[in-house]
Each structure stands twice: as structure tokens, then as C-alpha cells.
Copies of this chain bind each other. A is one copy, B any other.
Amino acid sequence: MDSVAVENYLKSIWELGPDDVATQDLAQLLNVAPASATKMVQRLTERGLVKHIPYKGASLTSEGRRRALSVVRRHRLLETFLAQTLDLGREQLHDEAERLEHALSTELETAIANYLGNPERDPHGHPIPGPNGELLIDEDILLSDCSLNQSLVVTQVPDRDPNLLTWLEGNGIFPGTKLKIISRDDFGGGINVSLDDSSVQIAISVASEVYVILETD
């Protein structure tokens, strides 16, 4: 069984990947010093889970990817399970799952998946990898890349920052929300979107973490 640290590194490399994951980015995501990340990347390379080209970057081997996706699956199943049973706010889920994901047996993972009816997405709209690492390919696009006046539906919101998530939620923006960009304020640094019965200004930095699809109906 991989240690908590190993599981976190694999998942982070997956999140930053697929290729040339920079030591610095990895270190920052995991809150460790760059030297620590280098060392762990070397250990994982030794174990055959990572491929590392010094001074260039790291990437997962197929076994590394398999294990990373297993962690991601547990994480997203847990978020979904906690959201469904207890009712925690969407913004509380991530941090809990971040710790619980390392303590789930395969049996419990399966029991939770069955209980939930093998869901395809977690409460943030992120696809849940299958038990063998099958991952839905999303064809959604960034809100920040959309044109004016298209009818859009939110598919995914970021899950790491509780404050951001609370703000989005408070403005009615979460997976399933229908919206439309009504103007871009390039110098004001944001876009204006209209929802069913309100409108909000969203910073580009935020809009480039929200995924949407074109409304089809």
C-alpha cells in the first residue's frame, strides 16, 4: 500500500500533468520545499511510478497513473458520499476528502460507489474515475473562453478554495447553473454574466476555473 505522502504526490502529478510537471509547481501544491519534491520524485522514479527527466519535469508511468486515479476516485466518491448523507456545504467537502481518501479500503470504496449508484460526477462536477481508472473525457470549455450571449450551462467548478466556492454558491453558480455572458470588461478585469434572475461580475481568473457547455435544447 502506498503511504499518504506517496498517494498525495501521485495525485498532484496527475493534476498538474500529464507532462513535464515542474518541481516548483508540485512543491507549491503540496506545501513542501522544492528540494523535498525533487527527492520524492526520484524515489517514485526508482519505484517505477514516475518518469523524471532532470531539469525538465516529471510525469506518471502507466502504473503511477493507475494509482493516482485510484486516489482521485476515492476522493471524489467521498465528496459525493459526504454531500449526499450529511449535508455539508459544497465548500467543506474537499478538505475532508483530502484526508479520508487515504483511509478507504477497496471494499468500502465499492460499498460507497454502490450506495451512490456509481455516480459519474462529484458535487463539483468532476468526473469520477471508474474502478479500473476509466476516465470520462470532458468536452466542456472554460467560461473565460466563451463568446457573448451564448446560452451556457456550468459543468465544473473548482473545489480547492472554500472561499471561492462559497462566493460562487452565494451567487448561484454551481454545476447545472444556466448563464450567459452579457459583456466583457477587459480593462475592469472581468466578465458580466446573467443568470435566471440575477447578474454577476466574475474575475477572469475565476472564470478560467469554471467549465461550461453550450446549452443544447
Give A contacts to B, CB under 8 Å.
81-82, 85-86, 88, 92, 95-96, 99-100, 102-105, 107-108, 111-112, 115
Contacts and interface: CB of A to CB of B under 8 A. Distances in A.
B105 A103 contact: no
21 contacts: A81-B85, A82-B108, A85-B85, A85-B115, A86-B111, A86-B112, A86-B115, A88-B108, A88-B111, A95-B105, A96-B104, A96-B105, A96-B107, A96-B108, A99-B103, A99-B104, A99-B105, A100-B100, A100-B103, A100-B104, A102-B103
Contacts of A95: 105
State the number of copies, please: 2
Contacts of A108: 82, 86, 88, 96
A108 B102 CA distance: 16
A60 to B, nearest CB: 24
A107 B92 contact: yes
Nearest to A4: B4
A99 B74 CA distance: 14
A102 B107 CA distance: 19
